[in-house]
Amino acid sequence: MSAEATLGAIARAAGAETVRHFGASPAQLHVLRAMADCRTAAMGGHRDQCDRCGAEHTFWNSCRDRHCPGCGAEAREAWLERRRAELLDVPYFHAVFTIPACLRALAFAAPAVVYPILLRAAGHALLDVGLSKLGAELGVLAMLHTWTQLLTHHPHVHCVVPGGGFSPDGRRWVRLASDTFLLPVDVLSARFETLVARALREAFDDGALALASSVLADRTALDLLLARASTTKWHVHVKPPFGGPEHVLGYLAGYTYRIGISNHRILAFDGESVTFAYRDATDGDAQKTMTLPATEFLRRFLLHVLPKGLVRIRAYGFLANRDRHAKLATARELIGSDRIPAPRPDTPNARLCPHCGQGTMIRRADVPPERLRTWFDTS
């Protein structure tokens, strides 16, 4: 008989066995427990009643963990709404920065150090090359991803870049020579490599990479690793511009607040094996499926649990938080744009009665958790 095909159901059924077989860090254990308890009696909830038909329904609380695919919708919509108000009437480009495979073990061993380095290096590579090649201060929104479609470890940074920027004195808007070309990728790649290598050496000298001793025995080991990485192309891909500013929101909706896999990609779970959909980039992005033991599926998912406190979406240049609103207002004046953002699409009424579909659910009572939020014993 088929079980519920969600990450929460898989965590409840196979979480304990996954931990026994593969182990788990405190952060990974926290995520497993949160997903297993999410929207169940273990979280508690509230009992609501429809003001029209009188039907009662119990709603269980969500875990609100950023790795949980069932949570984050409200935060994502609020974040997207803020970005909607910031769109400029210019082409937007999508750039992807990827490190060589030989550096992935170091990133996995010291993610709290290496992941921020990748974000900063990608953002500043765009800023530095934008200034040298265009004579402009660009704006960059950078997002860290650590996964492939098959949930293997593959850290890379996605960037959204408005086409154009401020002159060094901040008085002119520098337009692109072509709406279809941003910056040369070979120059971006070289600058990205330089910034990553420099930051890794500084982090090692400061002792920040001490936790990566299993990968780096000493400074010589780091130099040899970076020398090996320099023989491999550091892939930077700048995709053609989006169809227009509003199309950027569709992209951001898919890439922000995103985890390794969403529930809609999980096709089946029989209690032991998980079947999920993926796009095969080696076969023209053909849609395919893969089946894995539930423990292996969870092991792969846990590879992408982020260190506590890591901010995986960052802004640079004129999109940096400190003066973003003022600079965007100036940019609109210089561009001569009076574009009004498209109206926000209607969102489903979360309080609509699930029984009659017409009334509004009114909270009548809180429901306490049925048990402690410890769903398996790892001792």
Q: Which domains does the chain have, with CATH numbers?
A: 1-36+45-71+264-303 (no CATH), 73-260+311-335 (3.40.1310)
Q: Comparing 90-99, 244-253, 282-291, 325-334, which segment has the lowest mean pLDDT?
A: 244-253
User: Predicted confidence band at 3 (pLDDT cuts at 50, 70, 90)?
Assistant: confident
CA distances from 133 to 177, 182, 185, 242, 319 (A): 11, 10, 12, 22, 19
The type of residue at 262 is S
Q: Strand 45-50 vs strand 56-60: parallel, antiparallel, or unpaired?
A: antiparallel
Are 347 and 152 within 8 A, CB to CB? no
Interval 135-156 mean pLDDT: 96
What CA–CA distance (Å, rounded) separates 70 from 306? 17
Supply the pLDDT for residue 1: 40
Which has the higher per-residue pLDDT, 147 or 211? 147
pLDDT at 78 over 90: no
Which one has a higher pLDDT value, 75 or 97? 97
| pLDDT at position 379 | 44
pLDDT recorded at residue 361? 95
pTM: 0.91
Higher pLDDT, 341 or 84: 84
Query: Worst-scoring range by mean pLDDT, 9-13, 221-225, 344-348?
Result: 344-348
pLDDT above 60: residue 259: yes
* 169 band by pLDDT with thresholds 50, 70 and 90: very high
346 has pLDDT over 70: no
CB–CB of 256/75 below 8 Å? no
Q: Rounded to whole angstroms, what are the CA distances from 196 to 97, 191, 210, 226, 229?
A: 11, 9, 18, 10, 11
pLDDT attached to residue 276: 97
Cβ neighbour number for residue 333 with a 10 Å cutoff: 10
Rounded Cα gap, residues 217 and 320, in angstroms: 37
Q: pLDDT tens digit string along 289-339?
A: 999 999 999 999 999 999 999 999 999 999 998 889 999 999 999 998 766
User: How large is the average pLDDT for residues 222-249?
Assistant: 89
Q: What is the pLDDT of residue 378?
A: 46
Q: Name the β-bridge partners of 48.
A: 57, 363
- Write out pLDDT tens, residues 4-57: 899 999 999 999 999 999 999 999 999 999 999 999 999 999 999 999 999 999
Q: How far apart (Å, rounded) are the C-alpha atoms in residues 80 and 62?
A: 21
Distance CA 136, CA 167 (A): 5
The CA distance from 53 to 135, in Å, is 65
Backbone angles phi, psi at 136, to 5 degrees: -140, 145
CB crowding 286-317: b at 16 or more within 10 Å, else e: eeeeeebebbbbbbbbbbbbbeeeeebebbbb
Is the model's pLDDT at 342 over the cut of 70?
Answer: no
Q: Please report the pLDDT score of residue 372 as a whole number.
A: 57
Question: Could you give the percent of the chain with pLDDT greater than 70?
Answer: 94
Three state DSSP letters for the chain: CCECCCHHHHHHHHHHHHHHHHCCCHHHHHHHHHHHHCCCHHHCEEEEEECCCCCEEEEECCCCCCCCCCCCHHHHHHHHHHHHCCCCCCCEEEEEEECCHHHHHHHHHCHHHHHHHHHHHHHHHHHHHHHHHHCCECEEEEEEEEECCCCCEEEEEEEEEECCEECCCCCCEECCCCCCCCCCHHHHHHHHHHHHHHHHHHHHHCCCCHHHCCCCCCHHHHHHHHHHHHCCCCCEEEECCCCCHHHHHHHHHHHCCCCCCCHHHEEEECCCEEEEEEEEHHHCCEEEEEEEEHHHHHHHHHCCCCCCCCCCEEEEECCCHHHHHHHHHHHHHHHCCCCCCCCCCCCCCCCECCCCCCCEEEEEEEECCCCCCCCCCCC
Q: How confident is the model at residue 217 (pLDDT cuts 50, 70, 90)?
A: confident
Q: Distance between CA atoms of 317 and 327, rounded to whole angstroms?
A: 10
Mean pLDDT of the chain: 90
Is residue 142 a contact partner of residue 123, using CB atoms and an 8 Å limit? yes
CA dist 155 and 99 (Å) reads 7
The answer on pLDDT for 139 being more than 90 is yes
- Amino acid identity of residue 98, one-letter, is T
